């Protein structure tokens, strides 16, 4: 297989210390190298490829729109695809979330949502409401405001001087919290820490609280206890703090319902979407807002202060429309729910493997947490780089997973994330489990560890 790497290639790669295999095409749940080698894409790339690879309907819609109209300025014109996309998303979102602002990445969507929260309060006559409360572990993107809201210590080590202050509270994390997710629940699992942070900062100064309804890569698909988000919704409403649900990763059906908040029966004030709303065929994201917030801007400044050249983009929106209709026509969100149950039933076998501390998640989203000691749940030293070595070994076996680190204390902690396409079959799930086990045993042998 052809591989490329820095500095021989003119490409500025995301990682400068590894060789990149060359992928020629995708087919269903597989990526196929230019030498014909097949990789089972068990994480949908970056939690993106929910339809699977090679869906002609999306490619055809994208090409047809590009031939008709590739680009217009979103400040000057509207067009069919953006109107259709907004209508499709609004119909799927809960409650009064019915105005859709399309963008091109999850980071942009979070950045825009946080700016909208601040601009709303200023225009509503509450300029002191400027602070953000967020969860840790948590991740919301790589633009500077979104990164400020994230809890990624390895980014902060380099970029800390450019980030704005954000108040972080412990995320609900049953595997590592005091109560273990069982009643009586500890303060991190009840939402009490969120209220304490808002009261400490002063509710009159807090603009927004942002969190992922189900943990993303930073906490390894950690699922809060059922009352957590209902309690957070009540806290935010009582203190007049906007609740922002970051569903860039967990939305668009990934957890078995369109919104990961749906099982809790609550509606956030703002929602961000991305990744799965275009299936990876184009970069597309969105902020979804209620008219009660946007009307304040309409009566005042006249628009959101978040100009982006590629917002409301015709070809991106056309791909999004095709993706959402494909999800609907093939009932893939329902399939994610039913196959999610099968997926997690098969994944329980991984608990018996050495150094697997926990297996968790919802729908077709799972996190496998590795620990040096199962009894004490102590993590590997960061110098071992267990997650990274496992991911590379898995790739060698033909399995693509998503590694993540730092969930224990910002530095230590090793995870492997799984998020296969919604079209995954039970046989392919079996193959994921089998290859995962092979890769883990090979990694253990490689580092010379003993359970």
Q: Cα dist. 357→101, 189, 397, 409 in Å?
A: 40, 20, 22, 16
Q: Would the pTM count as exceeding 0.95?
A: yes
Decide which of 329, 347, 362 is a domain's last residue.
Answer: 329
As beta bridge partners, residue 288 has 100, 271
Domain of residue 386, CATH code: 3.90.1150.10
Neighbours of 297 (CB within 10 A): 19
How many domains does the structure of the chain reveal?
2
Q: C-alpha angle with apex 421: 44 to 60, nearest 5 degrees?
A: 90
Note down pLDDT in tens along the chain; length 451 residues.
Answer: 678 999 999 999 999 999 999 999 999 999 999 999 999 999 999 999 999 999 999 999 999 999 999 999 999 999 999 999 999 999 999 999 999 999 999 999 999 999 999 999 999 999 999 999 999 999 999 999 999 999 887 788 888 899 999 999 999 999 998 888 889 999 999 999 999 999 999 999 999 999 999 999 999 999 999 999 999 999 999 999 999 999 999 999 999 999 999 999 999 999 999 999 999 999 999 999 999 999 999 999 999 999 899 999 999 999 999 999 999 999 999 999 999 999 999 999 999 999 999 999 999 999 999 999 999 999 999 999 999 999 999 999 999 999 999 999 989 999 999 999 999 999 999 999 999 999 999 999 998 877 7
Q: If you search the block for the tokens 């059922």, which residue do you land on? A: 226
Domain of residue 205, CATH code: 3.40.640.10
> Do residue 260 and residue 324 come from a single domain?
yes
> Do residue 45 and residue 165 come from a single domain?
no
Label the pairing between strands 402-405 and 356-362: unpaired
> Do residue 344 and residue 195 come from a single domain?
no
Domain region containing 228: 58-329
Q: Phi then psi for 139, rounded to 5 degrees?
A: -145, 135
């Amino acid at each position: 297989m052809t591989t490329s790497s820095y500095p021989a290639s003119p490409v500025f790669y995301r990682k400068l210390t590894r060789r990149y295999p060359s992928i020629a095409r995708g087919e269903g749940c597989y990526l196929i190298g230019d030498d014909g080698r097949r990789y089972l894409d068990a994480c949908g790339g970056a939690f993106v490829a929910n339809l699977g690879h090679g869906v002609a309907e999306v490619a055809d819609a994208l090409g047809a729109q590009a031939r008709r109209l590739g680009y217009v300025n979103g400040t000057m014109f509207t067009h069919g695809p953006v109107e259709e996309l907004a209508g499709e998303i609004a119909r799927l979102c809960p409650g009064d979330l019915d105005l859709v602002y399309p963008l091109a990445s999850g980071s942009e969507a979070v950045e825009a949502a946080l700016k909208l929260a601040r601009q709303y309060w200023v225009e509503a006559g509450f300029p002191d409401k400027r602070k953000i409360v967020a969860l840790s572990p948590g991740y919301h993107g790589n633009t500077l405001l979104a990164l400020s809201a994230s809890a990624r210590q390895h980014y902060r080590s380099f970029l800390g001087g450019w980030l704005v202050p954000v108040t972080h509270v412990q995320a609900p994390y049953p595997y590592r919290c005091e109560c273990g997710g069982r009643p009586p629940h500890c303060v991190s699992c009840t939402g009490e820490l969120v209220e304490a942070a808002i009261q400490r900062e002063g509710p009159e100064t807090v603009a927004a609280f942002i969190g992922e309804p189900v943990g993303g890569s930073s906490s390894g698909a950690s699922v809060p206890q059922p009352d957590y988000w209902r309690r957070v919704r009540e806290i935010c409403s009582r203190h007049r703090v906007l609740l922002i649900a970051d569903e860039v990763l967990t939305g668009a059906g990934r957890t078995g319902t369109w919104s990961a908040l749906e099982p809790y029966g609550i509606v956030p004030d703002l929602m961000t979407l991305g990744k799965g709303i275009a299936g990876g065929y184009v970069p597309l994201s969105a902020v979804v807002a209620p008219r009660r917030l946007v009307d304040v801007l309409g009566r005042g400044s006249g628009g959101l202060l978040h100009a982006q050249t590629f917002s409301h983009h015709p070809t991106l929106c056309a791909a999004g429309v095709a993706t959402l209709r494909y999800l609907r026509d093939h009932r893939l969100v329902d399939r994610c729910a039913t196959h999610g149950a099968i997926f997690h039933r098969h994944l329980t076998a991984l608990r018996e493997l050495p150094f697997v501390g926990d297996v968790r998640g919802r729908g077709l989203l799972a996190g496998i947490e590795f620990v040096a000691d199962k009894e004490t749940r102590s993590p590997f030293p960061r110098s071992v780089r267990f997650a990274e070595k496992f991911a590379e070994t898995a790739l060698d076996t033909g399995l693509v997973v998503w590694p993540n680190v730092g969930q224990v204390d910002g530095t230590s902690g090793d995870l492997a994330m799984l998020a296969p396409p919604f079209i995954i079959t039970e046989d392919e799930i079996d193959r994921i489990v089998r290859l995962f086990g092979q890769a883990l045993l090979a990694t253990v042998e490689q580092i010379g560890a003993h359970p």
